[in-house]
Structure 1
Amino acid sequence: MASIKTRKATDGTSRYTAEVRLKGYPAQTATFKRLTDARKWIQDIESAIREGRHFKTIESKKHTFADLADRYVKDVLPGKPKQQSRQKMQIEWWKERLGAYLLADVTPALIVQFRDELASGTTCRHTKRSPATVVRYMAALSHAYTICVKEWGWLDDSPMRKVKKPRESRGRVRFLDDDERQILLIACKESRNKYLYMCVILALSSGMRQAELMCLKWPDVNLKDGYLILHETKNEERRRVPLSGLGLELLREHAKIRRLDTPLLFPSHTNPHKPLDLRSAFEYALDRAEITDFHWHDLRHSAASYLAMNGASLAEIAEVLGHKTLSMVKRYAHLSDGHVSNVVASMNQKIFGGNV
């Protein structure tokens, strides 16, 4: 229901106060100098309320981006403990630049401006970020806007839907060839750190991330059936990791002399409740083996590469590594070309036989 009340102003001109009342919604009022403007406002408001647009528009003009950022950090990020500190830093970066703007005034063009600043490092306050890093900053912002739209009702739509993400690089593929692997394992075996050799073997044979491996606990290891369960993974899903061969043998021997004051497989020497830090020992082994341009995470790349070269499909590699999609493992596709060629040749042989 809508109504218009007319009153005389002190200067003798008329003022028209329009009011819109719809059941289930708070009354909306506005005053105009012209009757036609009041009538048009009523039509627009009634239409916007029925379509669910009106109150979101009001909310977007009541809240600043700083309000969004603060609420997201306070209410949402605690539910993402593994990503909390990193995403808080990313959201704070956006808040420094967008915080004073009303949500209604944060346009895709404005976000693009700061996206480009992030990528180019044009300010003296930070260095140039890689495309992959820019994508992570944008992903944090995008999720904050999604929550703002779907759960808080502060916006009708996210401006991130119209902002293009930079193209990420194809990804690093650095793996140990046969000679490098043999030399590195010798260096690790000769290391004064008694855990290094076993951990490198496990990383190469399973593809586990360093944090996944070093935080392993004995209740999650099944040495009889040859597998372990990862509860804390990057994508926050449990993963079953099969164990076999030398890695399984080493773990079985390790279990015979396990420490009883900690559930960790590889505890720190100084604090049994913290995982061991192998960084220095690993870097020293690399130096002794004269292997350059190689990081611990490249052991994971090596495991994936070996799987590809031994005929594993991309879907199988993704399952072993714990990736939700195939996009992350496509970097290894060229290593399985021989296997793909054999599959195609086998199919053609079965269909066409020896005929041309």
Structure 2
Amino acid sequence: MREYEKRVSPTKKSARWEAIRFAAFIRDFSDLAVMPLSEVTAEQMGRWRDARLAGDAEKKRAPVGSATVLREINLYSHVFTIARDEWKWARESPFTSMRRPTEPQPGKRRISDDERDLILSQLGYRHDETPKTKSARIGLMFVFALKTAMRAAANATCICPKESKCKFYTNAIDMLQRTTSPSRLAASPRAPYQIQTWFAVALLPCAGAINASQVILPNQAAVAR
């Protein structure tokens, strides 16, 4: 895991998350972490899976959902794949014969207007003011996500870009990032107009390092305001 963290993780956007997961695995499952790769079996990784799902009250380790365990399995499985295929450190992966948790059911409803307003009120966010606190900025990201259906990483890229750019079209948003090809995300037809207002009133002032030239909007006058 430490070798993977040094050689493979830096090439991925999820490097920080992977480092946290590796450290937690080594800390919480130290007996398994020190075993030679060739001796790790599907049965042992199955016990690890069950332990993650069940938690451990004595060790103050809370249970986690199947979605979390599936993400960790995908990461650790790739560690074994790289160790087997590229580094020749193992002959097989224990994950190929280990049962995976069931995929969680997706959400079936959209948050109501009353719930949205209560959350924004608690976060201290107002649509006509520049967010000045961390909680208010989280409120801004929450509103942005509701209007664009963006996940957290894409949301943060558009709201606080450093070396990236966002282009807004009638029903889509392009994210132009330094290390990957452009990524196009669908958006509500009303989103560009609302996004113009947010960039003019809130996003540009709160992001600090953002210049107007970094943001391309359908109506550039919104940035000038």
TM range (shorter): 0.5 to 0.7
Identity %: 20
Over the aligned positions, Cα root-mean-square deviation in angstroms equals 3.7
What's 2:166 paired with?
A: 220
Give the 3 Å change call, closer, same or farther, for CA 252–167 of structure 1 in structure 2.
Answer: closer
Q: CA deviation at 1:254?
A: 5.9
Residues of 1 paired with 2:175 and 2:194: CA distance? Answer: 19
Q: CA deviation at 1:143?
A: 0.7
- 1:230 and 2:158 equivalent? no
Residues of 1 paired with 2:88 and 2:174: CA distance? Answer: 39
- 1:79 and 2:11 equivalent? yes
Deviations 1:60-95 (Å, cap 9, x if unpaired)?
A: xxxxxxxxx221111111111x21122222223333
Number of aligned residue pairs: give it. Answer: 191
Aligned residue type for 2:16? S
Deviations 1:93-113 (Å, cap 9, x if unpaired)?
A: 333232322222211122222
What's 2:52 paired with?
A: 118
Aligned residue type for 2:203? F
- From 55, 64, 83, the equivalent of 1:148 is 83
Deviations 1:37-67 (Å, cap 9, x if unpaired)?
A: xxxxxxxxxxxxxxxxxxxxxxxxxxxxxxx
Give the 3 Å change call, closer, same or farther, for CA 120–237 of structure 1 in structure 2.
Answer: farther
Give the 3 Å change call, closer, same or farther, for CA 102–254 of structure 1 in structure 2.
Answer: closer
Q: CA deviation at 1:198?
A: 8.1
Map 1:234-249 → 2, pairs under 5 A: 238-242=182-186, 245-249=189-193
What's 1:193 paired with?
A: 129
Secondary structure class of the residue paired with 1:215? helix
Say which one has the larger Rg. 1
Secondary structure class of the residue paired with 1:230? strand
Give the 3 Å change call, closer, same or farther, for CA 90–268 of structure 1 in structure 2.
Answer: farther
Residues of 2 paired with 1:169 and 1:140: CA distance? Answer: 18
Aligned residue type for 1:150? D
Deviations 1:181-235 (Å, cap 9, x if unpaired)?
A: 8967x97995553478986665334212244234325943245x66431246xxx
- 1:266 and 2:207 equivalent? no
Task: Using structure 1 for the length normalisation, give the TM-score.
Answer: 0.44
Deviations 1:278-323 (Å, cap 9, x if unpaired)?
A: xxxxxxxxxxxxxxxxxxxxxxxxxxxxxxxxxxxxxxxxxxxxxx
Aligned residue type for 1:106? V
- 1:163 and 2:98 equivalent? yes
Residues of 2 paired with 1:175 and 1:272: CA distance? Answer: 32
Task: Using structure 2 for the length normalisation, give the TM-score.
Answer: 0.66
Is there any run of 5+ residues in structure 2 with no aligned partner, and where? 211-225
- Between 201-210 and 112-121, report the one with greater CA deviation: 201-210
Aligned residue type for 2:6? K
Residues of 1 paired with 2:22 and 2:125: CA distance? Answer: 44
Secondary structure class of the residue paired with 2:173? strand
Deviations 1:99-136 (Å, cap 9, x if unpaired)?
A: 32222221112222222222222351512222222222
What's 1:37 paired with?
A: none
What's 1:92 paired with?
A: 23
Residues of 1 paired with 2:90 and 2:203: CA distance? Answer: 48
Is there any run of 5+ residues in structure 1 with no aligned partner, and where? 1-68, 259-264, 275-356
| Contact 2:171-2:188 at 8 Å conserved across structures | yes
